Amino acid sequence: MKIKAGIIGATGYAGAELVRILLSHPQAEIAAISSVSFEGKPLSEVYPSYRTLCDMECGTQEEVVEKSDVIFAALPHGLSQELASQCAAAGKRFIDLGADFRLESEQEYQEWYGCTFLDQELHKKAVYGLPELFRDKIRGKELVANPGCYTTGAPLALAPAVKNGLVSTKGIIIDSKSGVTGAGRKPSQGNHYPELNEGFHAYKVACHRHTPEIEQTLTSLAGEPVTITFVPHLLPVNRGIISTCYARMLEGVTFEQVRKAYEAFYKDEYFIRLLPEGANADIHHIKYSNFCDISLHYDARTHTLIAISAIDNMVKGAAGQAIQNMNILFGLDETTGLKLVPPAF
């Protein structure tokens, strides 16, 4: 019997991407979808590319919870906590693509998002869903906080070096560039075509909400507090995030040691492609896929590791990773329905 999947917020970019991938999943089917903005309308009316493939009408959130075994919530922060409680009461698995359950500290959640934890016990049951780093904690859980785009690409680029104590945990710099879909579907001046096209700019410099989330992941790997400098940029493209991460290698550590550590750390990870020396991670080569490409570089003058990752922010940085988490929750091979091939050009 197939897994019945429901999507709340199906008409946003992440929700629509969940639909695209789930339509080809051999062990799951879409049971119900909802959208506040387009309730009662077929999804194919909102996204004509889904015509005849998904003509399902957008219903209510209650219908999604009732009809589904697993509920994906593709909603802005602050809207998932009550839904998660409803799903827990109904014995349904819940995967949140928003930020409500990502941070372990309520103080940090208040500081960066202006919200509080509505149910402390429910938050304790939540697990952070970055499979390559925490899959053993994900198995058997009911509530998964699905990481976002920056918070997937940057930690994956740094994880082996931080986990193995090869770099200093002080002075780490993360410089990320994202496609505009990361800003969501709602129009704004910043993603208006004349403002965005032929431009390139940083935004929320040293104050982006993903900062504490990245620090939380790296701290858990390092076993000691990690504080980063994080600067995101907006690229005039639809998809993709490239993160260039700088970390000072510890005295006596060689680049060869670092390279071997990455090879060992990711040797069994299907979705991590460690590129050969001399290659550069490029968002062009991971588009529409669940892959994370990582290239490693060494600045001998400053003894600095430069680790670069490239992901599709809508797939590995959102919907694809959410489905990867669903596969883990239901005991499926993680790659089920996710062997998406990037276009060659």
Using alpha carbons, select from 121, 127, 15 the residue that is nearest to residue 61: 15
Residue 176: partners with Cβ closer than 8 Å, 6 or more residues away: 150, 153, 154, 230, 231, 232, 233, 241, 242, 243, 244
CA 21 remoteness from chain centre = 15
- Choose, from 58, 87, 149, 292, the residue flagged as catalytic: 149
Based on the residue annotation, tell me whether 149 is a catalytic residue of this protein.
yes
In this structure, what token pair is assigned to residue 213?
A: 């989330």
Using alpha carbons, select from 194, 320, 297, 203 the residue that is nearest to residue 244: 297
In this structure, what token pair is assigned to residue 21?
A: 């991938």
**How far apart, in Å, are the Cα atoms of 317 and each of 36, 105, 117, 192, 257?**
24, 22, 24, 23, 29
In this structure, what token pair is assigned to residue 83?
A: 């839904």
The rounded distance, in Å, linking the Cα atoms of 219 and 226 is 5
**How far apart, in Å, are the Cα atoms of 328 and each of 5, 31, 339?**
14, 19, 15
* Residues taking part in catalysis: 149
